[in-house]
Every structure is written in structure tokens, then in C-alpha cells.
A = this chain, B = another copy of it.
Amino acid sequence: MQTVIMIKSGLSAAMNVVAFILLCTAVTYSADGTSVPWPPKESYSNQSVDHFSFGPDNSKFKLRFLYEDLRQNGVGPIFFYCGNEGPIEAFWNNTGFMFDLATSMHALVIFAEHRYYGKSMPFPDSLSQPYIQYLSMEQALADYAYLIVELKQRFNAVRSPVIVFGGSYGGMLAAYMRLRYPHLVAGALAASAPMYWVSGLRRFHRFFEAVTRDYYWTNPECVVKFKDAYSAMDRLVNEGKDGLQLLSKQLRLCRPMANQSDYLWMLKWSRNAFVMMAMMDYPSKASFMGDLPAYPVNVSCDRALSMTDSIDGLREAIGVFYNSSETDTCFDYKLQYIECADITGCGLGDSSLAWDFQSCMEMNLHDASGSTKCDMFPSLPLTPEQVTNYCQQRWGVTPAFDRLATTFGPEAWKSTSNIIFSNGDLDPWAEGGIMTDISDSVVALKIHGGAHHLDLRSPDPTDPPSVREVRETERRLIQYWIRKASN
């Protein structure tokens, strides 16, 4: 049993988990797999706050990294995890496959923390303007590049090939690292990295269709039930103030909804529970982004179907995520879901503030649910204009929606090599990722029955056969990259 900081990962979708953390602090969780060393060794690297300009005040800050040296006689590759949007311990504890590989391949394992998260804050007051302006993907990638150069010296590993890993947003960073710094990185495993959606190259609305499909695959009756629930809620609310009060009571909200705005807030909050459960639809109990049972989609679907009334059913279903401990007597939906520049919402705390800024600046995480007949959610738009207005008011800046597509355009993958893009068909993010081979050495692996970067988790007896095969392919390819880079 180990103390794990519960924190969002998974492409920001789980920002509300930060709020969740505030609700349930001092909880202990076991790390994913027994091969994960605990506590991790910790160190820091001096990094320039701004890698691309040369102001008179360009200061340095301390970027944190965790490490475990599993090399034999100081010989072996470097396995480098590209930290995502949260304190790095969460990723250390939920990427057991890397330690598994590192043990057999005798690697030096590094988990680098992303700037502006965890203990890697460039300024005392980092999360406000003008200090937050240096939080960008390119700056984070440059941190990792300089860190790799430094690590090779510090760990006497000048000739060690570097393999980068990452899941979700971290997977995007891993792929970009290989693309950007091929002289420093021999290959990348980018798990569940929604390259197309986040860079704005494809519309995002199929995300909610994918969440719906997860439930449909489990039991089509659940989709009918939830659709009914949303229709029934609409009818109730249209009856006026009494309707809102009745609905608030039936949903067991701590404070009743008072107006249409509260109602919309509640709808997004409820939608997000389904998003989270679809993402974390792992075959075993997991403490990564909430404390969820094995296959939470099935569990929540079963719970819904056990109720006669559709609204009761919806309440029970989302309780699997928002009241996993089953100790809360009511839902504080305004604390558990906070709207921001990310369609899946933001919670509270430093990590979600930083993520909100990132979503505002260069991510495309806006689109509507209920825009097609294929998703079970009510019509809840989030337009570029809404995001722009929000970001201008919140951070005083205008989003650069075209930035990632310009900087790392889709054709770029044809010009690189040694990247694995893995995606699971249970993961609603999968369709936003690279799902077909780009070339012989930039390949797409599909995990049948896999949720959000399941392949990065420690092998487990409950794993579907597909993820075992994919992990084996990943192992073989990584071994090949290392051999090739060592020649």
C-alpha cells in the first residue's frame, strides 16, 4: 500500500478530479503493480524559464524529476516519461509497464515533471499573468530536451539511447519529442495521445459519441435509459421552479438548482461522470483518476438499469464516479465540475488552473455534445467564440487555435520514425488519435477492450488478451530501437 496523490491525467478530461481530491484528502491508494518502486528518488534540474527569447530577466527555475536506476553496471538505455498536467508522482504510480520493461531491459527510469505542475513552479506566484505566460507545450518540450542532455552527463549515460513514454497529453509530448528532437530521442511510445483533436485537425464532437458507444456496447438499454433521463429532466425543468426543486431533490444535490444556468451546470457535471468512467474503464479497480471499480461503465450501467425511474438510474450511475466511497449523502455538483476552456471541465487547485491556461492557449478542447443523434447527451455547445471570450476574460489572452496544427502539422509524422501510437477502443479519446500506420516505423496499435492508456499500466491478471499482445509488440519495437541506436 502506498500513498498516491490522486490527480487528473488523461488529457485534462479529469480536471474535476482535482476538486474531487479536495473532497477526499488523505486517502491512501495502492500503486499500479508491484514493480513500481516507492518512494521514488527525487532530483531537480535548472531550466530556463523562457527557452526561446532572450530577455534581460530570463531566470532559471527548478524542474523536478523522479528516477530509479535499473541499469546493469551502469549500462542500459534511458526510459524517460514526459510528465503530464499534474504532480509527477501520479504518473510514476500509474505507468507500471515502464518499470516492467526497465527491469528486463536494465534501464535508467526518469519521470520528468511538467513545468507549472507539482513542485516545478518557475515563480513564487506562477499561476497568474504575467508569470504563467511561459506555460506552453514548446517550452515544456525544450525543458525535456535540456534535461535529457543533462541527465546523460549526470548519470554517466552519454551513449545511452533515450526512449520517451507518455500517456494522453503526455503521449502527445512523447511523440512531439521524437519529432522535434530526433537527435536526443531514439523512439517514443505515445499512448492514447489525441493528436488530431487537440491540434484542431478534426472536430471533437465524436468524443461524446464514443462515450455513448461504450455504454451501448455494454448494454444498449443503458443508452436508452440515460436518453430518457435527460428528456425527463428537461420536461421537469420546463414545468418551472418547482420542477428544478423536484429534480434537485431526486438527484440528491446538496443545494437545489435555482435557475437555467444551474441546470446547465448540472447537466455538464453529469455528462462528465460518464466521460470519466468511459476513460477509466479498466479491467481492474484503479486509483488513477478517482477511486473506481473494475469496468465502471458496466457497474454504472447495471446500477442504472436496476432502477425503474430513468432519473433515479442516471443518479445512481454517476454516483459510481462522484460518490465512489458511498459515504456522501448529497452531490456538490458546483464543486465537482467547473466550466473552463476544456469541454470536460476543470476542477480546483493548481493543476487545474495551469491546465485551464494551457487549454486556453493552444489546445482545441471545445465542441458540443448532443450535436448528432449518436450521442446520448443533451445539447451543450462550447464554441470557439465562447472559449475565446472566456480566455480573454480569465487570462487576458486570445487562444491560438491554429498553433499546434502549424507547428506539428499532420503530415509531419511521415517525416519521422520510431513512434508507436497506441489506442484502446474503449477510450473515448481514441478517435482523436493516430489510428492507422503512417509508415513502417510510425505505427498505430489498437487495444481491443482497452481504455485510456491501459497499456502503460502494470500487467494484471484481469487484462484483456489484446493489451498483452500490444505490450509485447511495444516491447519488441522498443528493443529494436535501442539496438539500432546502440549500433
Q: Are A415 and B182 in contact (CB under 8 A)?
A: yes
Q: Is A285 engaged at the interface, CB distance under 8 Å to the other chain? A: no
CB distance from A380 to the nearest CB of B (A): 27
**Complex-state Cα separation, A348 to B365, whole angstroms:** 49
Q: Are A52 and B55 in contact (CB under 8 A)?
A: no
**Complex-state Cα separation, A129 to B58, whole angstroms:** 12
0/1 per residue, A119-147, Cβ < 8 Å to B? 00000000001101111101100100110
**Complex-state Cα separation, A397 to B400, whole angstroms:** 29
Question: Which chain B residues border A139 with CB–CB below 8 Å?
Answer: 52-53
- Which of B183, B357, B407 contacts A412, CB < 8 Å? B183
Question: Which chain B residues border A129 with CB–CB below 8 Å?
Answer: 55-56
15 more A-B residue pairs beyond the given contacts A51-B52, A55-B129, A182-B416, with a C-beta to C-beta distance below 8 A: A48-B400, A50-B53, A52-B53, A53-B133, A54-B133, A54-B135, A54-B400, A58-B133, A145-B406, A149-B402, A181-B412, A183-B408, A183-B411, A183-B414, A184-B406
Q: Is A464 engaged at the interface, CB distance under 8 Å to the other chain? A: no
Question: Which chain B residues border A412 with CB–CB below 8 Å?
Answer: 181-183
- Show the binding face of A for B, using Cβ within 8 Å: 48, 50-58, 129-130, 132-136, 138-139, 142, 145-146, 149, 180-184, 357, 361-362, 395-397, 400, 402-403, 406-412, 414-417
Q: Are B406 and A149 in contact (CB under 8 A)?
A: yes
- Which of B56, B184, B408, B417 contacts A130, CB < 8 Å? B56
Max count, chain B CB within 10 A of own CB: residue among A181, A361, A395, A415: A415
- Which of B51, B149, B361, B410 contacts A54, CB < 8 Å? B361
11 A-B residue pairs with Cβ-Cβ distance under 8 Å, sorted by A, are: A51-B403, A52-B52, A52-B53, A54-B397, A58-B397, A145-B406, A146-B406, A181-B409, A182-B412, A183-B415, A184-B406
Question: Which chain B residues border A406 with CB–CB below 8 Å?
Answer: 145-146, 149, 184
**Complex-state Cα separation, A375 to B53, whole angstroms:** 37
- Which of B138, B395, B408, B409 contacts A52, CB < 8 Å? B138
Q: Are B409 and A136 in contact (CB under 8 A)?
A: no
Question: Which chain B residues border A415 with CB–CB below 8 Å?
Answer: 182-183, 416-417
**Complex-state Cα separation, A361 to B181, whole angstroms:** 21
Question: Which chain B residues border A362 with CB–CB below 8 Å?
Answer: 54
CB distance from A423 to the nearest CB of B (A): 21
A180's nearest neighbour on chain B, judged by CB, is B180
Question: Which chain B residues border A56 with CB–CB below 8 Å?
Answer: 129-130, 133, 395-397
Question: Which chain B residues border A57 with CB–CB below 8 Å?
Answer: 130
- Which of B134, B145, B146, B149 contacts A53, CB < 8 Å? B134
A396's nearest neighbour on chain B, judged by CB, is B56
Question: Which chain B residues border A411 with CB–CB below 8 Å?
Answer: 182-183
